[in-house]
Amino acid sequence: MRIVPIIVAVLVTATLYMLVIERDTLMALVSGEAVDVAAELATPGNDDPAQTEMPTPIAEKQAQEPVRVVRVVAMHSTARQIDSAVVLRGQTEATRQVSVTAETSGTVISEPIRKGAFVSTGDELCRIDPGTRASSLAEAEARLAEARAQVPATQAQVPQARAALAQAEAQLEEARLNDNASRKLSEGGFASETRVASTQASVRSAEAAVESAKAGVESARSGITAVEAAIQSAEAAVASARQEIDKLTVTAPFDGILESDTAELGSYLNPQGGNATCATILQLDPIRLVGYVPEAQVNRVEIGAMAGARLTTGEELRGRVSFLSRSADPATRTFRVEVIVDNGGLQIRDGQTAEILIAAEGAPAHLIPQSALTLNDEGDLGVRLVVADMGDEGAGDEAYLAEFAPVTMIRDTANGVWVAGLPEDADVILIGQEYVTDGTAVEPEWQEATQ
């Protein structure tokens, strides 16, 4: 009874060996493709081991197995020169947007203008109660008139002071002559010492009179300077008072549209208190298109280049690049681009989404269906091409292989995508590119190009 389990174990082991290790041989025997080895070995005179060797069933099957060919759909494509535009997503932006504020405090006494109204340069937006500012101006003007009235009298003091100085100098000269004569007479005994002392005192008195006259001249000149200073101070006060009155009227700095109502009648505007906004004005003609170009394409954009845009409403715009930032946004590493567009009818609003196309240097490209794009094992974007199998030159029928080619997307259109990076003539696989790899034999079915 113990022999039965052993026999069963041997049979199971042999079966597993044939199924796992000698599977190909077993399949060949079952299909009738195996060679009768016993008959060959039993052939008379076949004693040479080299002559008894024969190809294994596995080798025969591999030699007889046909090459796997994948059927694909492909098209012939020829490159064309296109205007390679830089495509951006952006929005419209007002050329100018200003919050007009009051420069002086006071109560608004003008009726408000409602938002949406068009205003021209210099139009009154808000008018502030003048209060006592007119009285301040009148007082400043009176002081100016008073200062100017002092000019003739002050100027007349200068000639008088100069005349007094000339008289004092003449008296000094006379006193010196008398002193000199008395000294000589005294030396000859013809004049007393008292007379000499008197003449000397007269000289000193005349000298003092001259110094006093000189001081009078300087005082007259200082009076003129003081009057001139008073006039300038009065003129400054008048100008300040008039400017304060001019600030009472807040006007539009440029032509535009009110984005908000002007300040309500009776509201108090106070620049020091942070409540001085009269109105917000937008300038929409011309209007700007603002987008951000990646750093990989920034060198393709030039100032003055033609640009177009399509709004979400379907409206198409035309303009030129007016600004390209020299500094990248630190968060997105993109550069701001501005396009100036005419907006005479004010139909374009601030903040509308726009697809911006900026003209760049042309490049050869292929138009292919977007479904033809695929990725290789490294994650590169490209397409699969049909290329001739150069290894089968002697074959009767031309053989083809699949080959991956990386591409760069230039533009996306309704008819397909324009890509660059392919040779001038390329056979692009449209269907089946996901089931082949480089070197896979393919049998293409050609389809007409849609270009």
**Which of 358, 373, 396 is the last residue in one of the domains?**
358
pLDDT at 392: 57
pLDDT bin (cut points 50, 70, 90) of residue 203 is confident
How far apart CA 53 and CA 49 sit, in angstroms, is: 7
Which value, to the nearest 10 degrees, does the dihedral of the CA atoms of residues 336, 341, 345, 348 take?
-30
One domain, residues 378 and 404: yes
Q: What distances in angstroms separate CA 131 from CA 150, 261, 295, 348, 368, one per listed residue? A: 31, 25, 59, 43, 76
pLDDT bin (cut points 50, 70, 90) of residue 153 is confident
One domain, residues 235 and 306: no
Question: Are 387 and 438 within 8 A, CB to CB?
Answer: no
Domain count, the chain: 4
pLDDT bin (cut points 50, 70, 90) of residue 196 is confident
How far apart CA 91 and CA 341 sit, in angstroms, is: 12
One domain, residues 424 and 440: yes
Residue 118 lies in a domain: no
Among residues 78, 67, 72, 68, which one has the least CA distance to residue 433? 72
One domain, residues 210 and 139: yes
Residue 185 or 432, more confident: 432
One domain, residues 288 and 219: no
One domain, residues 443 and 396: yes
pLDDT of 123 strictly over 70: yes
Range with the poorest average pLDDT among 92-96, 148-152, 247-251, 286-290: 148-152
**38 is in which domain, residue-wise?**
3-62
How far apart CA 365 and CA 404 sit, in angstroms, is: 17
Q: Classify residue 280 as exposed, middle or buried by CB count within 10 Å of its CB (0-12, 13-18, 19+).
A: middle
pLDDT bin (cut points 50, 70, 90) of residue 23 is low
pLDDT of 397 strictly over 70: no
CA angle 254/256/262 to nearest 5° reads 95
Q: Which of 17-21, 33-37, 323-327 has the highest mean pLDDT?
A: 323-327
One domain, residues 370 and 343: no
**Which of 32, 62, 92 is the last residue in one of the domains?**
62
**Which of 246, 265, 295 is the last residue in one of the domains?**
246
One domain, residues 232 and 188: yes
Residue type, 358: I
Q: What distances in angstroms separate CA 30 from CA 21, 33, 60, 398, one per listed residue? A: 16, 8, 15, 37
Q: Residue 236 phi/psi, 5° resolution?
A: -65, -40
Q: Give the model confidence (pLDDT) of 64-110 as tens digits.
A: 555 678 999 999 999 988 866 788 999 999 999 999 999 999 999 99
How far apart CA 76 and CA 449 sit, in angstroms, is: 6
Residue 326 or 174, more confident: 326
Residue 313 lies in a domain: yes
CATH number of the domain that residue 438 is part of: 2.40.420.20
Q: Give the model confidence (pLDDT) of 416-426 as tens digits.
A: 888 888 999 99
Chain center to CA of 214: 71
One domain, residues 242 and 297: no
**Residue whose entry in the numeric block shows the structure tokens 């049998």:** 443
**Residue whose entry in the numeric block shows the structure tokens 């006193």:** 175
Average pLDDT, the chain: 83
